[in-house]
Homo-oligomer: A and B are copies of this chain.
Amino acid sequence: MAKVNENYLKLRGSYLFSTIAKKVSEYQNSHPEEAKEIIRLGIGDVTKPLTPAVLKALHSAVDEMGNSETFRGYAPDLGYDFLRKAIADEYKERGCDIDPGEIFVSDGAKSDTGNIQEIFSEDSIVAICDPVYPVYADSNVMAGRSGSFDEKNDRWDRIVYMPCTRENGFSPELPEKVPDIIYLCSPNNPTGTALNKAELKKWVDFALEHNSVILFDAAYEAYITEDGIPRSIYEIEGAKKCAVEFRSFSKNAGFTGVRLGFTVVPQDLEISGVKLNPLWARRHGTKYNGAPYIQQRAGEAVFSPEGKKETKALVDFYLGNARIIYDGLKAAGYEVYGGVNSPYIWLRTPNDMTSWDFFEKLLNEYRIVGTPGSGFGPSGEHYFRLTAFGTRENAEKAVERLKKG
């Protein structure tokens, strides 16, 4: 008799965005006129179209697929050499020595950050920042590493939570219990805070000392504007012996609907004498059939001179929105974080309101939709996330409304 994976049944309803959608829809029904004015700053999805260099590469690759001389069937499991090389070259420009053979092209960082736990032992102790992108915890719940959910504590009892709050500058502290696997996300989603060189070095040293592995999610690296903030963990000495890095084309080049990302697993990364690079290659080769050729050509175009210019313009545009929202909130008297090295603005709710109460207030009084911080983890309570991925007009309008109070 077949049985299901019981770990799946433990999962908490991850209804954050569907609860938000439901509440917005209720508001629309009860306030049809006001609802027309709603500004959505909730979901982390880009809104600007693909850039000319990317479009040209996509059309040209589609043409190649229509010609028997240039048609491409199965891609190499780990990615075409042209793209792996382009990525390695970009790392080189940043002073990181990454070989194309250490780069695994995929359909995006969500798949990779969700799947990477598979190559580790089932009894691994996992540490996550709190609050953070929910995929790290959920994928480990599904794999049986989370233990039970402690309702009173609002936490999984076998996961190590590393609070990131205003008290520690949203920079996680080294945990007392040594984890086997440490998820770091910098710039962090949702707090919008990036780890500086000294902070990252602290983690690399810790991982090297304890033979832990750092899973470093750098999906938002393109938004780093300040000096002294590494865009790759490999800017830290020793990281190639302890860290995997995830990258994405979603938030820089606007590929959320195109789907392309990659993961770096260095050849030097060994645990108990087992190299992780061939292990991840085996995972890719067995359960994945390579990213599409046309997407890989689009990814290559992002690294071309025009592509780089266009991508920077996209990022600058969203950062401009972030600046407007950040400054506007400040001027309106809010306690605000993030927004400088990140497309996310993270604010403390006024008067210690709960995140959900603030959500209601923002929707009802200002017709603005955002994301309650508590949806990203228990330490996100009393915080709130706004995103800079909308239009300039909406960013400005939202700020005007908030300033009026």
Also in contact, A1 and B210, with CB within 8 A (given A55-B65, A274-B9):
yes
- Docked-complex contact B256 and A73, CB < 8 angstroms: yes
- Docked-complex contact B4 and A274, CB < 8 angstroms: yes
| Residue of B with least CB distance to A59 | B62
Q: Is A97 part of the contact surface with B, judged by Cβ < 8 Å?
A: no
- Docked-complex contact A73 and B49, CB < 8 angstroms: no
Q: How far is the CB of A157 from chain B (nearest CB, A)?
A: 20
Partner of A65, one of B118, B258, B271, B285: B258
- Docked-complex contact B3 and A121, CB < 8 angstroms: yes
| Residue of B with least CB distance to A272 | B3
- Docked-complex contact A4 and B271, CB < 8 angstroms: yes
Question: In the complex, what residues of B have CB within 8 A of residue A74's CB?
Answer: 43, 45, 256-257
Question: In the complex, what residues of B have CB within 8 A of residue A259's CB?
Answer: 107, 289-292
| Residue of B with least CB distance to A288 | B111
Question: In the complex, what residues of B have CB within 8 A of residue A45's CB?
Answer: 73-74
Q: How far is the CB of A69 from chain B (nearest CB, A)?
A: 9
Question: In the complex, what residues of B have CB within 8 A of residue A256's CB?
Answer: 73-74, 289
Question: In the complex, what residues of B have CB within 8 A of residue A320's CB?
Answer: none
Cα A279 to Cα B142 with chains together (Å): 11
Cα A164 to Cα B213 with chains together (Å): 44
Question: In the complex, what residues of B have CB within 8 A of residue A59's CB?
Answer: 59, 62
| Residue of B with least CB distance to A110 | B289
Q: How many copies does the complex hold?
A: 2
Q: How large is the interface on A (under 10, 10 to 19, 20 to 34, 35 or more residues)?
A: 35 or more
Cα A119 to Cα B5 with chains together (Å): 5
Also in contact, A65 and B50, with CB within 8 A (given A180-B3, A274-B4, A283-B142):
yes
| Residue of B with least CB distance to A273 | B4
Question: In the complex, what residues of B have CB within 8 A of residue A252's CB?
Answer: none
Q: Is A196 part of the contact surface with B, judged by Cβ < 8 Å?
A: no
Question: In the complex, what residues of B have CB within 8 A of residue A212's CB?
Answer: 1-2
Question: In the complex, what residues of B have CB within 8 A of residue A124's CB?
Answer: 2-3
Partner of A2, one of B2, B9, B68, B180: B180
Q: Is A169 part of the contact surface with B, judged by Cβ < 8 Å?
A: no
Question: In the complex, what residues of B have CB within 8 A of residue A257's CB?
Answer: 65, 71-75, 290, 292-293
- Docked-complex contact A294 and B58, CB < 8 angstroms: yes
| Residue of B with least CB distance to A75 | B257
Task: List CB contacts (< 8 Å) of A249-290 with chain B.
Answer: 254, 256-259, 271-272, 274, 276, 279, 282-283, 285-290
Q: Is A6 part of the contact surface with B, judged by Cβ < 8 Å?
A: yes
**B-contact bits for A182-210, CB 8 A (1 contact / 0 none):** 00000000000000000000000000001
| Residue of B with least CB distance to A144 | B122
Q: How far is the CB of A262 from chain B (nearest CB, A)?
A: 14
Cα A276 to Cα B59 with chains together (Å): 39
Instruction: List the 5 shortest-distance A-B pairs measured between CB atoms, nearest first.
Output: A114-B287, A3-B121, A45-B73, A1-B211, A73-B256
Name 29 A/B residue pairs within 8 A (Cβ), A-sorted. A1-B180, A1-B210, A2-B180, A2-B212, A3-B271, A4-B120, A4-B121, A4-B274, A5-B118, A5-B121, A8-B279, A45-B74, A46-B73, A47-B71, A50-B71, A58-B65, A58-B294, A74-B256, A75-B257, A107-B107, A107-B292, A108-B289, A110-B287, A114-B288, A138-B286, A257-B290, A257-B293, A258-B293, A259-B290
